[in-house]
A and B are shown apart, each in its own frame.
Chain A
Amino acid sequence: MSLGPHLLLALMEGTVAAFVLALTALGLALVFGVMRIVNVAHGEFFMLGAVLAWAFAHLIGSPALGFLVAIIASPIIVGGAALAIDRMILRRFNYQPEATIVATIGLLYIIQQLVLVFYGPDARSVEAPINFRIQLPWFGYSGYKVVVAGIAALLLLATWYGIARTKLGLVMRATQFDSETAQAFGIPVDRVYAAVFAIGAMLAAIAGVLIVPIKQAYYLMGLDPLLLSFIVVIIGGLGSLRGAIIAAFVIGISDGVISVFFSPNLSKILATLLVALVLVFRPEGLFGGKAR
């Protein structure tokens, strides 16, 4: 294959990956930004979304209808679970950074093992809601992947709108800026925290639902998005939403291009190296503000 189409395929693969990654990483960045906790179980919410999508597709039978139900119901169920986790675990630890890291590590294993017990160890496939192939002159491409990128873009826009233009977003930003002052002004910080944790989990769950017709639902699938999200969030600046999205595209597209032209291992090495460099030279991340 000549250079042009080769590059085009690399960019397409990278862009689709970047959109899904942006969605997942945004959830992680949001939770860290507002609540100042590092949610190690974030990848498991992604996995739960995928597994629930399989369950709905399996129960309903029709791929298109199953997908529609899954993309609405899975995030709601995962969000509900996140609310319960916030209430029962995180709040009891007073959202202390160290305690919540340990707690979410525990959660990671609990969720994973529960899925292993009730769903089983198999990778199960979900049929894509729309099955078409885009034939370019040089190669074919999955139509569903393009749809995934589109839906993810819409969701990113909606999240941006929610944060920048709605009252909930204002309250969230106020809490992020200074939670004590926010509380003094009558903002129910506890409830904001719960909402943010649920929204973060829901974003990951939606990403899981979107990815499952491409990849299959599997109880260990949460690890990869967790690592990549951390890479993205560290590079973008802990808590910076804009940084997370830009970093997701840098990582996603460079991963696509480097792994097509060189090797997938090299792209992972470079991403990790970038994290190390950012931590050494700009610990607050490319777009993060100085810690107060």
Chain B
Amino acid sequence: MTRSKTPKSSSSKSLITRRAALQGLGAVAGGSAALGLAPGFVRYIQVSAAEPIKIGFQAHRTGIGAAYGRWYERTTNAAVKLINGAGGIAGRPIELIVEDDGTDPKRGAEVVEKFASQHKVDITFGTLFSHVVMGSAPRAGELKMPYFVVSEGHHVASGALNRYTFQPGITDVKAQVSSMAPWIAKNLGKKVTMIFPDYAFGYDHRDFFSAAIEKQGGQVLQLLPIPATETSYTKYFPQIPSDTEVLYHVMVGPGVLTFVKEMGEFYGSNRPQIFGFIDSLEAVDIASPGLEFLDGTYFWEAYPRYAQAKQSDADKAYRAAVGVDNSGASLEDPKDVATYSHMFGCWETLYIIKEAIEASGYQSPTAADKKKLIEATEAMKGWKEGNEHPQGDKTFVGQIHQCFGHQFISKVAGGKLEVAHKTEIADGTYEPETDYTKMAL
């Protein structure tokens, strides 16, 4: 409040002089610093049982990630409702505070800052787009803010981030693609052309898939990176070599439907084998006009969008709680298709946060409590499939702050996705590339 007065003070007509305003500001800043430092003022206050655990949700409400953001928010709200209904975390209800980051890295860092200084949250959570994670995580580390992302990027496991950043609810691209490569080489072909976004997330695909397919005796014939701002894709397709056996595509953002449609216009029925990451069609109906050519192609899914014949009870309960029908669309609007292969990560991460807080005895955002929380999370080993983890079993490697899980390969048949193959967790595991637990807190 004091700050909003400062512009006035520069005007000579104002009652408050510039000096008085500065003095006021200084006094407030000094006072709050003194209070914060004063021993015994905050530290020994017992947290009353009813006081909520504040979770800051960094949401992509607008910008290129909006479709993901909408579904991340629905999933998160559903999980929070369930957790609160069942007694909350350690007897305390979750208070969810949502801030839009516009799917923008700079605003992402500002949102983290706002969570820390204004809302004073216990944990920040929920970021998806890799460039926003890359923009926000360093700030979270500086602020010593536990930061649980649901992003898929390899940046957590690679060691590029910090001890406060975790990804326990969704597997990373490296694990995903290395478990896909053997199946692709065996069933579709060994000469691959890759189409991917020309930034960090796409580079994870490029680097790890190229390595993984070469291990299978295959080769990548051509790499086609597509700039983030591109809206028209036909011009890239002539660069696909004609001896390509498998076209590997992964695309994100508002242009995905255009991308897949133009691929269909280009090839028609005379196409190579096509293997896509479902990211290229998240939030898009597979039965959209113009996508008929996808029939018989394959997609990676983290979590099958269409309810399968052997649907688990956990999946039934999860769909009902979030409001998703058996085709992966909203119960209210069948045209509103979910980002089903990503959003479960929010659900599972919230349950992991609950487990970590309860295991650590975390009370309030003090340095000592945060340390306990971080160490308790790092000590986790994995989770069993069930209502809290509907996607399936997972293992967790504390050193790299990253979980590992099953992946699915689904075939498009009659405008639906049918699971053709489910990988083992071991298919995607790799040696730790870093050890966050050795970093200072």
Residues on A close to B: CB < 8 A?
Answer: 1, 5-6, 9-10, 13, 17, 116, 120-123, 125, 127-128, 131, 133, 135, 139-142, 214-216, 218, 220-221, 224, 256, 259-260, 264-265
- Across the interface, name the chain A residue whose C-beta is closest to B231: A215
Known A-B contacts A142-B262, A216-B255; the reply to A9 vs B231 at CB < 8 A is: no
Interface of chain A, main secondary structure: mixed
Min CB distance B337 to A, Å, is 11
Min CB distance B37 to A, Å, is 42
A/B interface sample: 25 pairs, CB < 8 A: A5-B238, A10-B235, A10-B238, A121-B61, A121-B62, A121-B70, A122-B66, A122-B67, A122-B283, A123-B257, A128-B289, A139-B237, A140-B265, A140-B266, A141-B265, A215-B255, A216-B255, A216-B258, A218-B254, A220-B63, A220-B254, A221-B231, A260-B235, A260-B238, A264-B235
A141 CA / B263 CA spacing, docked (Å): 10
Contacts of B63 in A (CB 8 A): 121, 220
Contacts of B238 in A (CB 8 A): 1, 5-6, 9-10, 139, 260
Asked if A215 contacts B62 (CB within 8 A), the reply is: no
B330, CB-defined interface residue at 8 Å: no
Q: When the two chains form the complex, which single residue of A125, A142, A224 contacts B257, counting CB atoms closer than 8 Å?
A: A125
A188 CA / B332 CA spacing, docked (Å): 54
Min CB distance A53 to B, Å, is 15
Asked if A121 contacts B66 (CB within 8 A), the reply is: yes
Residues on B close to A: CB < 8 A?
Answer: 61-63, 66-67, 69-70, 227, 229-232, 234-239, 242, 254-255, 257-258, 262, 265-268, 283, 288-290
Min CB distance A201 to B, Å, is 22
Contacts of B290 in A (CB 8 A): 128, 131
Q: When the two chains form the complex, which single residue of A17, A123, A135 contacts B254, counting CB atoms closer than 8 Å?
A: A123
Asked if A256 contacts B62 (CB within 8 A), the reply is: no
Asked if B67 contacts A9 (CB within 8 A), the reply is: no
Asked if A224 contacts B231 (CB within 8 A), the reply is: yes
Asked if A135 contacts B257 (CB within 8 A), the reply is: no
The 7 closest A-B CB pairs, nearest first, are A123-B254, A121-B66, A121-B62, A142-B265, A140-B268, A260-B235, A1-B238
Contacts of B236 in A (CB 8 A): 260
Asked if A131 contacts B289 (CB within 8 A), the reply is: yes
Apart from A121-B63, A139-B266, A215-B232: 16 A-B pairs, beta carbons within 8 A? A1-B238, A5-B238, A13-B235, A121-B61, A122-B283, A123-B67, A127-B289, A133-B268, A139-B237, A140-B268, A141-B265, A214-B258, A215-B231, A215-B255, A216-B255, A264-B230
Min CB distance B98 to A, Å, is 14
- Across the interface, name the chain B residue whose C-beta is closest to A217: B254
Asked if A256 contacts B235 (CB within 8 A), the reply is: yes
Asked if B254 contacts A216 (CB within 8 A), the reply is: yes
A128 CA / B232 CA spacing, docked (Å): 16
Q: When the two chains form the complex, which single residue of B66, B257, B266 contacts A120, counting CB atoms closer than 8 Å?
A: B66
- Across the interface, name the chain A residue whose C-beta is closest to B237: A139
A36 CA / B273 CA spacing, docked (Å): 55
Q: When the two chains form the complex, which single residue of A5, A13, A120 contacts B232, counting CB atoms closer than 8 Å?
A: A13
A256 CA / B235 CA spacing, docked (Å): 7
A64 CA / B381 CA spacing, docked (Å): 56
Min CB distance B193 to A, Å, is 12
A232 CA / B288 CA spacing, docked (Å): 35
Contacts of A139 in B (CB 8 A): 237-238, 266-267
Asked if B258 contacts A140 (CB within 8 A), the reply is: no
Contacts of A260 in B (CB 8 A): 235-236, 238-239
A128 CA / B290 CA spacing, docked (Å): 9
Contacts of A10 in B (CB 8 A): 235, 238
Contacts of A218 in B (CB 8 A): 254
A141 CA / B283 CA spacing, docked (Å): 26
A120 CA / B69 CA spacing, docked (Å): 12
A17 CA / B289 CA spacing, docked (Å): 23
Contacts of A131 in B (CB 8 A): 289-290
Contacts of B283 in A (CB 8 A): 122
Contacts of A5 in B (CB 8 A): 238
A167 CA / B235 CA spacing, docked (Å): 43
Contacts of B235 in A (CB 8 A): 9-10, 13, 256, 259-260, 264
Known A-B contacts A122-B66, A215-B258; the reply to A13 vs B234 at CB < 8 A is: yes
Question: Among the interface residues B235, B237, B239, B258, which one has the most CB atoms of the partner chain A within 10 A?
Answer: B235
- Across the interface, name the chain A residue whose C-beta is closest to B241: A1
Q: When the two chains form the complex, which single residue of A13, A140, A215 contacts B267, counting CB atoms closer than 8 Å?
A: A140
A10 CA / B289 CA spacing, docked (Å): 25
Known A-B contacts A133-B265, A139-B266; the reply to A125 vs B288 at CB < 8 A is: yes
A122 CA / B70 CA spacing, docked (Å): 9
Known A-B contacts A13-B232, A215-B232, A260-B235; the reply to A123 vs B255 at CB < 8 A is: yes
Asked if B232 contacts A17 (CB within 8 A), the reply is: yes
A268 CA / B366 CA spacing, docked (Å): 50
Known A-B contacts A9-B234, A216-B257; the reply to A116 vs B62 at CB < 8 A is: yes
A196 CA / B268 CA spacing, docked (Å): 44
A134 CA / B268 CA spacing, docked (Å): 10
Contacts of A122 in B (CB 8 A): 66-67, 70, 254, 283
A32 CA / B267 CA spacing, docked (Å): 43
A139 CA / B61 CA spacing, docked (Å): 39
Contacts of B237 in A (CB 8 A): 139
A140 CA / B269 CA spacing, docked (Å): 10
